[in-house]
Structure 1
């Protein structure tokens, strides 16, 4: 039976509530959408997976405020029901020197933790970002309200010039790194 992966492209488009970070002339919601779209296409082409995304178009708006937006994403995954939940984000910091990739999970040494570890390793290996590790944060809504193992991937820092270039120009590579990390986690070979 196919493994069901729910991809949550974090945040709504610019101009709406919950629109995410911006920096270096690019917007988090746009990057999240495209990396999620590429990842969904990779998974859809692999018969071992079934995939759904939270946003089906770049202009789709979920919810009427931050909480209802998060709730809608979680409900879609829970009602399907998905086997795994991957929320895609990019990070920001007031200090433009802060850079790298990290993955948030709700608990240490859980299924989510090991999945996040495999995905983070592939992002760092393929994109050359700094490995900021797996961060435990059980307070994040999408990690505590999902009924399946869930991770929140922070691809890189939109506020760091080098990371921002990668986010703007290597979106398919980020998606492929997540796909490759999923294959590693499940012990599968590329098709």
Structure 2
């Protein structure tokens, strides 16, 4: 039986739960395409079944930020997914802050183990700084999903070097996540 992965492309186009923007990049666009690339990799492999939260670039989930988060979680829970992977791009007031990180609900968990593999592979392929796996139980999509969930922050839109990597090599970020998933399941 196939492993069911829910790929959540964080944020929406437009004004509802729109996310960050900097250096000519819009978070909802970056996450949309990163999720689509990841889904393509996974769908070629018969060991996986994949659902994305935003199947089209103009898909908007919810009528406000809480509703957008709730709709993503409900989709994954109702499917039901075996694993939840939410994709984001980070931002910081300090343009020197850079790198990739992955958030989980708690340290000693299946999600933490998956996050370590995903982060290691993504950093290796994309060439970003490893900012470690971090615990953040306040993130809605991590605490309300009924399956192991990770939230991937690809890189910082506000850092020019990271932004350049997201512009030219977004495919590599997704491929790194894919390799991390394969590694986690022992498929490499």
- Which residue of structure 2 aligns with residue 66 of structure 1? 65
The unaligned stretches of length 5 or more in structure 2 are none
What is residue 7 of structure 1 aligned with on the other side? 7
CA distance in 1, matches of 2:57, 2:108: 34
Matched, 1:125 2:124: yes
Match of 1:116 in 2: 115
Q: Find the counterpart in structure 1 of residue 182 from structure 2.
A: 183
**CA-to-partner distance for each residue in 1:124-180, whole Å, 9 max, x for gaps?**
111111100011001100000000000000000000000001111111111110000
Alignment of 1:78-117 (within 5 A): 78-117=77-116
- State the secondary structure of the residue aligned to 1:170: helix
CA distance in structure 1 between the aligned counterparts of 2:74 and 2:138, rounded to whole angstroms = 17
Q: Does 1:166 align with 2:165?
A: yes
- Normalising by the residue count of structure 2, what TM-score does the alignment of the two structures yield? 0.99
32-41 vs 121-130, greater mean Cα deviation: 121-130
Length, aligned pairs only: 188
Q: Which ranges of 4 or more aligned residues in structure 1 deviate by more than 4 Å?
A: none
- Unaligned 5+ runs, structure 1: none
Corresponding residue of 1:143: 142
* Kept after mapping to 2: 8 A contact 1:16/1:61: no
Instruction: Name the SS for the 1:174 alignment partner.
Output: helix
Q: Which residue of 1 aligns with 2:51?
A: 52
Q: Residues 36-51 of structure 1: matches in 2 within 5 Å?
A: 36-51=35-50
Deviations 1:46-71 (A, max 9, x none): 00000000001011100000000000
Structure 1 residue 109: Cα displacement? 2.0
Taking only aligned residues, the RMSD between alpha carbons, in angstroms, comes to: 0.6
